[in-house]
Amino acid sequence: MASLVDSGWQYLVTHFSDFQLSCIGSFLLHESVFFLSGLPFIYLERAGFLSKYKIQTKNNTPEAQGKCITRLLLYHFCVNLPLMIASYPVFRAMGMRSSFPLPSWKEVTAQILFYFIIEDFVFYWGHRILHTKWLYKNVHSVHHEYATPFGLTSEYAHPAEILFLGFATIVGPALTGPHLITLWLWMVLRVLETVEAHCGYHFPWSLSNFLPLYGGSDFHDYHHRLLYTKSGNYSSTFVYMDWIFGTDKGYRRLKTLKENGDIKQT
């Protein structure tokens, strides 16, 4: 496995410059993972497949789904890509590299664990600030246009929010100056996590059924259904920040009622 990764990486660094890999390569990887993981949930919703696992009974219209995709492409090419290019010198200065040797799996694992921890902390507070009255009305309400989220709505947001909460994702790598392969793996995991959190389905194989501190789709779907002043559930990947600061009490209460059969699916 290691030799296969080495061979693949050798091909990339031989045929493409560090700038091309860091900027264009990162952008293409992000777009591929994001749309390939998010588009199937649009199909599931339209076709009605696996509807028994759908968290809400409501469906988005094809027009609403199309609007989301159009805006996403605009934001990705006009905000995300320029941001990746503009931040390249900063990451280089912080120690990011694409050259050999590749980092060990121990190093990669330790760094990504650190990224998840610091991203959860920064995202929680940034997200909670976005739910203050002025910022919600003028910025964060764009993301909440979809009270019934589907995978691709995970990155549907005001450009200011993309910059604001995007900081939570990049602050960890900026502090450690990782190898590009570590950054790519972190990006893939983060995209898959946020798409799953917004997918609108809670499956028997969902990670939240196996990882006690993992939020997942059921946890975040609750956040989209409620008014901004009462939603709670501000966490990103893991839920301990909401538990510590008591911002998940409404969700826990609702979950208990559902488990006791006192409330039906909305």
154 HSE (CA, 13 A, CB side) = 28
pTM value is 0.94
Distance (Å, whole) CA 229 – CA 266: 20
Distance (Å, whole) CA 49 – CA 5: 37
161-217: pLDDT as tens digits: 999 999 999 999 999 999 999 999 999 999 999 999 999 999 999 999 999 899 999
Question: In this predicted structure, what is the pLDDT of residue 197?
Answer: 98
Cα separation of the two ends of the chain: 46
92-126: pLDDT as tens digits: 999 999 999 999 999 999 999 999 999 999 999 99
